[in-house]
Each structure stands twice: as C-alpha cells, then as structure tokens.
C-alpha cells in the first residue's frame, strides 16, 4: 500500500513538473512530434524511407518495426485500455491549453509510447543507425505524453515495456515458427522410416 501511495505521489509530482517547467518553444516542438506520430504516420514514413534507402536491410528493418508496432498497439489500445480504466491526469494539474485536446479513453497505458518504442526497438538489431535516429522522436514523444497532460509517467513506462515486449516477440517468433515447422516435417519422416524398417 505504501509503495502504491509513493508511486501515485511521484506520478502527480512528475506530471505537474513536466506541465509547468517545460518552456513553450519546447512544448511546441513536442506537440509537433506528437502530431507527426498520430495514427503512426511518423513510423510509417520512417519505414518507407528505410525501404527506399536501405536495400534488403532497410526492408527487413521496416517490416520488423511495423510488425512490432502493430502488436504493441493491439496490446496497449485493444487490451490494456480495456482492462485498466484509468482517468487522465486532472486538468487542474496542467497549466496550458493542450490538456483540452487529449482523448477521453483510458490513460493506461500510453499507446503512442508503446508504438514508438516497439518500432524503434525492433529496428535496432537490424539497423542500429536508423534506430538511433528513431530514438530521438521516441524520447520526445514519451515526454510529450506527460507534458501535455495526456498521461501519467507510469502510463508511459507501461507503454514502453509493451513496446519492448513487442519488439522482442517480433524478433523471436520467426525463429520459433521455423523450428516448429522443421519439427513438424521431421516427425512424419521419422515415422515413415520406422514403418519401413518394421516391414
């Protein structure tokens, strides 16, 4: 109970600090990044650039990034927000007008953050330089979600964890599927060989 109380206190303090201490110019930059990331436009654009400029590596990175992004959005928006009906931070904590533009859906987790982290983390093993470039708007977006009053820091942290999980799953599922397919081909062959030796 004490831990949860401390988390709530930290959530409130960090949300209020982010909303009041970030300069207006930086706030406008953060809003621009958020608008670009809305409906995953930013990440689809990044995937298009990777595909056009990166050859085979770029295509692989783009596919991995978009696959992880789709998984993260499904988990965060389709599952997380339905299971955890958390209200957005109170408007009186936020001393600027951006708070009026936030959605009415559950605050937990941050779907924007989940998508951004998933895309960036999935790209990283395949094209580290491209992932480093994506990490900049990813970090700015995570900050914007708190600064704008759309999310608590814990919502953003949960979104980031979902994004990392999505990237790891995207990386390991193809290997797992190949392994399962190889086993499914091997078992009939072993049975056929055993039947032939029996007769």
State the Cα angle at 128 between 118 and 77, rounded to 5°.
5
**What is the DSSP code string of 73-118?**
HIIIIIIIHHH--PPPPPGGG--SGGGGGS-SS--SS-HHHHHHHH
> Along the 199 residues of the chain, how does pLDDT read in single tens digits?
788 888 889 889 888 888 888 888 888 899 999 999 999 999 999 999 999 999 999 999 999 999 999 999 999 999 999 999 999 999 888 877 777 778 889 999 999 999 999 999 999 999 999 999 999 999 999 999 999 889 999 999 999 999 999 999 988 776 666 666 677 666 455 455 544 544 4
Phi, psi torsion values for 23, nearest 5 degrees: -60, 155
What's the pLDDT score for residue 174?
Answer: 65
pLDDT at 190: 46
Tell me, what DSSP letter sits at residue 54? S
- Provide the pLDDT for residue 198: 45
């Amino acid at each position: 109970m004490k831990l949860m109380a401390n988390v709530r206190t930290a959530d409130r303090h960090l949300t209020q600090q982010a909303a009041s201490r970030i300069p207006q110019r930086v706030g406008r930059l953060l809003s621009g990044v958020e608008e670009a990331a809305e409906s995953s436009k930013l990440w689809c654009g990044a995937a298009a650039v990777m595909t056009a400029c990166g050859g085979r590596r770029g295509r692989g990175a783009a596919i991995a990034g978009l696959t992880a992004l789709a998984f993260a959005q499904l988990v965060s928006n389709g599952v997380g927000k339905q299971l955890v009906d958390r209200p957005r931070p109170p408007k009186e904590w936020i001393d600027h007008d951006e708070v009026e533009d936030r959605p009415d859906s559950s605050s937990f987790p941050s779907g924007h953050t989940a998508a951004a982290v998933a895309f960036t983390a999935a790209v990283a093993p395949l094209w580290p330089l491209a992932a480093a470039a994506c990490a900049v708007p990813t970090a700015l977006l995570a900050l914007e979600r708190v600064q704008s009053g759309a999310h608590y820091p814990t919502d953003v942290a949960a979104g980031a964890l979902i994004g990392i999980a999505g990237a790891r799953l995207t990386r390991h599922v193809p290997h797992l599927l190949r392994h399962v397919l190889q086993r499914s081909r091997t078992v009939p062959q072993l049975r056929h060989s055993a039947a032939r030796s029996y007769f």
